[in-house]
Structure 1
Amino acid sequence: MIQRDHPRLSVSQQCKLVNLSRSGFYYTPVGIDAATLEMMKAIDRVFTKYPFFGSR
């Protein structure tokens, strides 16, 4: 879609044409590490078992 080495259009011009911010073009998603995933699973297990925690 966007070519970094386009002979006539710069990256910012190409981003404007496709209505994409330059930061969105350069963004690379970061994966979730195993420790964070385990923590999320533990929180989910507790919330599923005790859904009333945190309410008055």
Structure 2
Amino acid sequence: MAGHPCAGIQEAGGPSGTALTTAAVAFLISPYGIPKLAEWFIDRLDDLNCAIKSI
């Protein structure tokens, strides 16, 4: 369907999605990614703990 107006848009979305995935994986395996993710998760657990205590 090369004549379809959206054909070029769909093809252009592929590489950018791959680039975002690659950047996310690179961040996670970097020395900052996993500790930052763990810190964010612990902060959310702390927020949940405070919310439960305030009830």
TM-score scaled by structure 1? 0.43
Larger radius of gyration: 1
Report the structure, 1 or 2, having the larger helix content: 2
